[in-house]
Amino acid sequence: MYTLIGLLIIAVGAFCQSSSYVPINKIKSWSWESYWIVQGIFAWLVFPLLGALLAVPEGHSLCELLAGADSFSLWMTVFFGVLWGVGGLTFGLSMRYLGVALGQSIALGTCAALGTVMGPLLLNVFFPDMHALEQLSWAVLVGVAVTLLGIAIIGLAGSMKASSLSEEEKKAAVKDFNFPRGLAIALLAGFMSGCFNVGLTFGRDINFGELTDPMFRTLPATLLVTIGGFITNAIYCFYQNQRNKTWSDYGKTSVWGNNLLFCALAGALWYSQFFGLSLGRSFFEAGGTMDTLAFCILMALNVTFSNLWGIILKEWKGCSPRTIQVLVVGILVLIFSTFVPQLL
């Protein structure tokens, strides 16, 4: 019963994340780099900070927590956040060239698999006495392998889409559709995005222990990871502002009210996935199979809901029934991957 509750909470967060790009379509008169960094302020700074404060018991402070944390673990958490930031940047580009459904499917599928494995592997390198590799049981590895299979099938569906549609049909569904370029970017995005879970792994003890509600224990680490990601994104976006001469976007006072509202909504929806992950994991056995696979489960559910949005946004319109069938099989394989460990 507790496992089911945890899964439902993670699913709600996944649905919110998969919906986070919808408000962005309502932003007016701003270039990509301008709205991306503004929504990032909410997604990677404001809401993660509010979430981290929930992990601070009465009589203590967040500054006290960070000051008393192991410095190596703290900076490694931020460092992997910086690397994750690269994944966040390329993640947006993957959807530009592949659309919401296919872009998120490939990027998040790769992120799910690599993010699950890289955390324990790297933690074992620096802290071998923690025996982190024990988390990578055969059940977990089989789940990861099935996830990669799902990615391959969805990639096949994307290739079939690219070869079956005319250029006009591709542009009608996704304006800048380019499968080869989008696939390469999506795989890079998935690899780098997996660093988020690595950061969470290094920062898992950055809390007040028993004084912190189990539901909120990973939220301080989440804040540190997102701060690292914000640094990467801010550098790139401000560079693009300078290169494209789009600093004037921030001076368009007539659209600030509208754009700030939808950037805040997008940021809140995006952060919901990791808030839900923290809450959901508290219902799993600490260090158990479901706990280890929680990040993978979140990404797989993100893929599921992103493809539902892809159908709603008609990104697969005009594809042959066979292509849709292959896509559905890939999605089902990804979903099945989250339940494989329970069957072994």
What would the two tokens of residue 307 be? 């493809």
CA gap 152, 113 in Å, rounded: 12
The answer to pTM > 0.85 is: no
- What is the reported pLDDT for 194? 85
Please state whether 285 falls in left (phi above 0), alpha (psi between -120 and 50) or beta.
beta
- What does the pLDDT average to over 197-212? 91
- What is the reported pLDDT for 170? 55
Task: Please report which helix (H) or strand (E) contains residue 40, including its range.
Answer: helix 32-41
Listed range (15-19, 156-160, 209-213, 271-275) with the worst mean pLDDT: 156-160
Among candidates 307, 281, 330, which has minimal Cα distance to 3?
Answer: 281
- What does the pLDDT average to over 307-317? 73
- What is the reported pLDDT for 176? 66
Task: Please report which helix (H) or strand (E) contains residue 187, including its range.
Answer: helix 179-193
What would the two tokens of residue 10 be? 């993670």
- What does the pLDDT average to over 233-253? 95
- What does the pLDDT average to over 53-80? 94
CA gap 272, 145 in Å, rounded: 27
Residue 314: helix, strand or coil by DSSP? coil
The ranges assigned to domains in the chain are 2-343
- What does the pLDDT average to over 49-68? 95
Listed range (45-49, 102-106, 191-195, 323-327) with the worst mean pLDDT: 102-106
Burial of 61 per CB tally in 10 Å (0-12, 13-18, 19+): exposed
Query: 72 φ, ψ to 5°?
Result: -65, -45
Residue 285: DSSP 8-state: P
Query: Is 70 exceeded by the pLDDT of residue 341?
Result: no
- What is the reported pLDDT for 168? 63
- What does the pLDDT average to over 173-198? 79
Listed range (170-179, 217-226, 293-302) with the worst mean pLDDT: 170-179
Among candidates 296, 330, 298, which has minimal Cα distance to 140?
Answer: 296
- What does the pLDDT average to over 71-86? 94
- What is the reported pLDDT for 175? 61
- What is the reported pLDDT for 174? 56
Q: pLDDT-derived band of residue 158, with 50, 70 and 90 as boundaries?
A: confident
CA gap 5, 162 in Å, rounded: 39
Burial of 41 per CB tally in 10 Å (0-12, 13-18, 19+): middle
CA gap 53, 164 in Å, rounded: 51
Q: Amino acid identity, residue 39?
A: Q
Query: Is 90 exceeded by the pLDDT of residue 71?
Result: yes
What would the two tokens of residue 344 be? 């072994």
Residue-wise pLDDT tens digits, 2-58: 788 988 999 999 999 888 878 988 999 999 899 999 999 999 999 999 999 999 999
Match 């408000």 to its residue by tokens: 23
